[in-house]
Homo-oligomer: A and B are copies of this chain.
Amino acid sequence: MTLDVAKLRGDFPILARTVRGGRPLVYLDSGATSQRPRQVLDAERSFLEQHNAAVHRGAHQLAEEATDAYESARARIAAFVGADPGEVVFTKNATEGINLVAYAMGNAAGFPGAERFEIGPGDEIVVTGLEHHANLVPWQELCRRTGATLRWYGVTDEGRVNLGSLELTPNTKILAVSHQSNVLGTILPVAELTRRAHEVGALVLLDACQSVPHMPVNLGSLGVDFAVFSGHKMLGPSGVGVLYGRAELLAAMPPFLTGGSMIEMVRMEGSTYAPPPQRFEAGVPMTSQAVGLAAAVDYLGHIGMDVVAAHERELTALAIDGLSAVPGVRIVGPTDLVDRGGAVSFVVDGVHAHDVGQVLDDRGVAIRVGHHCAWPLHRRFGVAATVRASFHVYNTPDEVTALVEGVQAAREFFGV
């Protein structure tokens, strides 16, 4: 299938707007959050206008319909990432998903059958030096609470995980790694990392925030134990994310958030909990958002994730080439396309990222500046802030040109 981007852009109302006094919006910040097509907005609205009710709680027709819509959403999203519906837990975002696993591990002591999640002094949690804060701080906090030790793989000069920088040990309880760096674009060697982790009996959590929205991902065949991603980065609603967990693990894992709908039996003296995924979905869930996310995976599935990936690859190549040709621009991360997705971060000698961003914004080009919630990685590369362009299926080669021209204009404006 070839992609008719011009036609597809018509599905995204926001892409038609102008900014800063009439300039067409060039939205190159999908790595932070993506835009929603009409199909997603309509799905959510029609759910709310026709079927809205509390799910799993009512015996009336609306409640049945709402429950069906919610569970059908779960099934479609599960299929999209090669999982079973029972392996998909809805969270508010990916951050909650990672916290869920971290807190569940902290809660494991004394929970029958949850021995393999227990963690304490002498145990290790391993991450990498390129993680988003969402996949770093929850583990720091878990270590603080339990006395476990945090260790991390280093990052090479070209932005790859340095596989030689660390040995996992039998004390490693969990390895938590990104699938794709939100700064460098690097795609991590998940198969090799998973092999190593499983060899020592460690669990693997994959932060798939930047992979699931941009390429075909089959979590089942990747063999990871847990994975997280967010709806808002994949053309879906904000306020909904997914925690994937292998069925057998979710079944043994203690709950995290507790309250209504996740219980089996409640007495004042104590409670028991429902099987997964309900055990991990306390309270009235983000129903319409799950429905919207299902519409987003339908939309992406209809295009084909391989087509999405190929399109973004083309834009990435253009951006790397174009930016590399601008004097004083230094790309942080791989400059070839091997195991690399479409986030392109860079610095401009003599012009601070904020100032580059301002010139771009003035021209209608929306990118992100700062550390992109990966502060340690920026320190690793000796920079406080970078400029990041990131793409989705609705972006065009012309928009990449606008980016490159904007960077040139910034250099001129600041006289470097």
- Could you tell me which A residues sit within 8 Å of B by CB distance? 13-14, 17, 19-20, 25, 27, 29, 32-33, 35-36, 41, 45, 48-54, 57-63, 92-96, 98-99, 103, 107, 110, 129, 132-138, 140-141, 144-145, 150, 152, 230, 232, 237-240, 255-261, 263, 265-268, 270-271, 282-289, 354, 357-358, 360-361, 365-370, 373, 375-376, 379
A189 to B372 Cα, complex, angstroms: 48
The residue from B61, B95, B137, B265 contacting A20, defined by CB atoms under 8 A apart:
B61
Chain B proximity of A112: nearest CB distance (Å): 13
Chain B proximity of A156: nearest CB distance (Å): 16
Chain B proximity of A51: nearest CB distance (Å): 8
Chain B proximity of A194: nearest CB distance (Å): 22
A93 to B51 Cα, complex, angstroms: 20
Oligomer: number of copies: 2
The residue from B32, B62, B152, B283 contacting A93, defined by CB atoms under 8 A apart:
B283
The residue from B98, B103, B238, B285 contacting A288, defined by CB atoms under 8 A apart:
B238
A141 to B379 Cα, complex, angstroms: 39
The residue from B93, B107, B263 contacting A133, defined by CB atoms under 8 A apart:
B263
Q: Is the CB of A59 within 8 A of B361?
A: yes
Given A133-B259, A140-B271, A268-B152, residue A239 in contact with residue B368 (CB < 8 A): no
Q: Is the CB of B95 within 8 A of A134?
A: no
Q: Is the CB of A95 within 8 A of B375?
A: no
Q: Is the CB of B261 within 8 A of A373?
A: yes
Closest B residue, CB atoms, query A93: B283
A138 to B260 Cα, complex, angstroms: 10
The residue from B41, B61, B62, B283 contacting A96, defined by CB atoms under 8 A apart:
B283
Q: Is the CB of B357 within 8 A of A59?
A: yes
A99 to B283 Cα, complex, angstroms: 11
Given A133-B260, A282-B95, A283-B96, residue A29 in contact with residue B60 (CB < 8 A): yes
A11 to B287 Cα, complex, angstroms: 21
